[in-house]
Amino acid sequence: MNHGNHTPRHVPVLLTRADEILGPALASGGILIDATLGLGGHSEHFLRTYPDIRLVGLDRDTTALRLAGERLAPYADRITLVHTRYDGIPAALEQAGLPATGSVRAVLMDLGVSSMQLDESDRGFAYSVDAPLDMRMDPTTGITAADILNTYDHGDLARVLKTYGDERFAGKIASAVLRRRQQKPFTHSAELVELLYATIPAATRRTGGHPAKRTFQALRVEVNRELESLEAALPAALDALEVGGRIVVMSYQSLEDKVVKQVLAQRTASRTPMDLPVELPGMGPEFAMLTRGAEKATEREIEENPRAAPVRMRAAERITGEESR
């Protein structure tokens, strides 16, 4: 979810490819949902390129909304910006005066942590900078990473690290966290990084990337309820599309991509029983895939924008509407 101003570090990810996929649905106007607005890099491009579209932009981060609003000010009469998580699509459409189903031409979901959040040193997302252990994408509500480290029991903490970070030393790290917090509660990221260096074996540290990467990812996903939000957001996004409408989803970790793959597989599958020779009326696939598997960034794009390296893009088009179901 790498949006932002026009500096090299804020290049919107897979912008050309997203335009190739969503452009045909937007050429004659209609509604675009940017469910992860960030700093508005993708949205600015689409508003500039397709003068007849209207944008409904969502973000849980109030700072991002303010900055995106400033960036998109030239298009103020064509945008509705809503402070909500991406699973708030139905309410956002209602706020924009639109039905929650069948009213949208295109949806863009660029998941994960934004460039702005990584670059703001006081948010605690980056393990390379000492900062308060917050990690909330919406800093106005919810638990922080410090709350998790200081209150979760061993089993829950190990589960979070293993499930959301694929951390092989999850149990060992959880034990070390519980010992450390008895002496002094965690407040800053450097304290956690120091503990991880001391806990993860040296051989793994030499070959497995930064020892804090997986733990920081796991805490961020838990703090922001990212997977639960995605599991609710995707069906709402698909339901919002009209026939011919298209969706692009960009994931940055395997758990996100797995959810996207499963939901799209369900909606692109026939519901006619396998043993019947013909498709039953109203039981055909609702969507058709527009990508073969998950598309990745090119070497050139990664060179221009290193944060594009892990991206996986999937896209689909609605081919039947409610009336045929």
Binding residues for S-adenosyl-L-methionine: 40-42, 59, 86, 110, 117
Bridge partners of residue 246, in order along the sequence? 106, 317
Helices (H), 61-110: 62-71, 89-95
The SS3 assignment for 80 reads: strand
**Interatomic CA distance for residues 27 and 32, integer angstroms:** 11
Q: How many CA atoms lie within 13 A of 292 on its CB side?
A: 0
* Residue 244 zone, left/alpha/beta (φ > 0; ψ -120 to 50; rest): left
Amino acid letter, residue 237: A
Bridge partners of residue 55, in order along the sequence? 32, 79
Task: Calculate Rg over the CA atoms of the chain.
Answer: 21
Residue 226: CB partners within 8 Å, gap ≥ 6?
111, 220, 256
Binding residues, by number, are: 40-42, 59, 86, 110, 117
The SS3 assignment for 212 reads: coil
* Residue 296 zone, left/alpha/beta (φ > 0; ψ -120 to 50; rest): beta
**Interatomic CA distance for residues 324 and 291, integer angstroms:** 24
Q: Which two tokens stand for residue 162?
A: 């293993």
User: Between β-strands 312-318 and 287-289, what pairing exists: parallel, antiparallel or unpaired?
Assistant: antiparallel
Amino acid letter, residue 295: E
